[in-house]
């Protein structure tokens, strides 16, 4: 809210706006642009996904006999012990040490604690969830799973490998809360006044490609554009109050089960 990014592409022609464009994609590596004042507060979800997810998985249960998402650990009773494991690793096992600051380590401990509360919501009926997804929920009017559905919204075939159940649930009931940089939508206004809204696939100094709301690929030279605006509001309707608690739980369980690959 209130953070509309408007880029006038006319400025691109002057070669001035490229760093601004890159600065939009948070965490997308790249430029950085403006000065950073002080260290940013640790982002626990991101620390987890960048350092732990590859072994422990989005639900914390991917290592055999280890379940990080249930608030109980075999090797640690207190938060301080969990923190020590994260910082120093566990000798002679696959658990490596991590070069975190104290606040970072603590925020990851809290993140593991909060996973425990959320994992309650993954106990639904995934096959009922699938029928909601493919049917009454109308999800396939925008989303695609394993080749079925639309390309207007992001493909969800691997969503269970990428996102925690809690984040998936939040996407459904509060789509504006967090939008991944890869899922950003833009509004383009051409010099002759036509407006195109769509999911941004690619952009560089010379051209922009989007998938528009009719699933058409639109490729446009930037020279033809008057305006290029990131849309911060999600194009996805909120399902808050539109699904029963059980249906929501079932739907989340279905999405959590989507890990990509043949199945």
Report the interface residues with ligand HEC, using CB under 6 A: 51-52, 54-56, 63, 66, 68, 73-76, 82, 85-86, 90, 93-96, 98, 108, 133, 137-139, 141-143, 152-154, 156, 159, 163, 168, 171-172, 175, 179-180, 183, 234-237, 239, 251, 255
Give dist(CA 108, CA 100) in Å, integer: 10
Output the smallest distance, CB 122 to ligand HEC, in A: 14
Greatest alpha-carbon span in the chain: 66
Report the nearest approach of ligand HEC to the CB of residue 193 (Å).
Answer: 25
> How far is 225 from 186, CA to CA, in rounded Å?
12
Cβ proximity to ligand HEC: between 182 and 205 the closer is: 182
- Residue 16 C-beta: closest distance to ligand HEC, Å: 29
Q: C-beta of 245: minimal distance to ligand HEC in Å?
A: 14
* Tokens linked to 239: 């399902």
For helices 165-173 and 245-256, give the axis angle rounded to 10 degrees: 130
SS (H, E, C) 249-262: HHHHHHHHCCCCCC
- Smallest distance, ligand HEC to C-beta of residue 120, A: 18
Report the SS3 class of residue 247: helix
Of 156 and 186, CB closest to ligand HEC: 156
CB contact set of 83 (below 8 Å; sequence gap of 6+):
105, 106, 109
Minimum CB–partner distance for residue 10 and ligand HEC (Å): 28
* 148-157 contacts, C-beta under 8 A, 24 or more apart: 150/215, 151/211, 151/215, 152/199, 152/211, 152/213, 152/215, 152/235, 153/183, 153/199, 153/235, 153/236, 154/180, 154/182, 154/183, 154/199, 156/255, 156/258, 157/258, 157/260
Nearer to ligand HEC, 17 or 69 (CB): 69
């Amino acid at each position: 809210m209130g953070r509309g990014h408007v880029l006038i592409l006319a400025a691109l022609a002057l070669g001035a706006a490229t760093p601004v464009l890159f600065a939009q994609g948070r965490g997308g590596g790249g430029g950085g642009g403006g000065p950073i004042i002080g260290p940013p507060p640790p982002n626990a979800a991101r620390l987890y996904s960048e350092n732990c997810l590859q072994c422990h998985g989005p639900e914390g249960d991917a290592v055999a006999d280890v379940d990080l998402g249930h608030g109980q650990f075999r090797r640690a009773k207190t938060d301080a012990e969990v923190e020590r494991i994260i910082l120093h690793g566990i000798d002679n096992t696959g658990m490596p040490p991590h070069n975190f600051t104290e606040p970072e380590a603590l925020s990851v401990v809290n993140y593991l604690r909060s996973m425990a509360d959320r994992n309650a919501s993954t106990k639904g009926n995934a096959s009922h969830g699938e029928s909601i997804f493919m049917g009454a929920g109308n999800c396939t009017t925008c989303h695609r799973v394993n080749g079925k559905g639309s390309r207007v919204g992001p493909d969800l075939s691997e969503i269970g490998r990428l996102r925690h159940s809690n984040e998936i649930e939040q996407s459904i009931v509060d789509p504006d809360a967090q939008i991944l940089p890869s899922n950003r939508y833009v509004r383009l206004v051409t010099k002759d006044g036509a407006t195109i809204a769509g999911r941004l696939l690619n952009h560089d100094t010379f051209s922009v490609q989007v998938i528009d709301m009719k699933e058409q690929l639109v490729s446009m030279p930037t020279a033809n554009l008057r305006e290029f605006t990131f849309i911060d509001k999600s194009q996805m309707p909120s399902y808050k109050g539109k699904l029963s608690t059980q249906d929501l739980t079932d739907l989340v369980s279905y999405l959590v089960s989507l890990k990509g690959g043949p199945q």
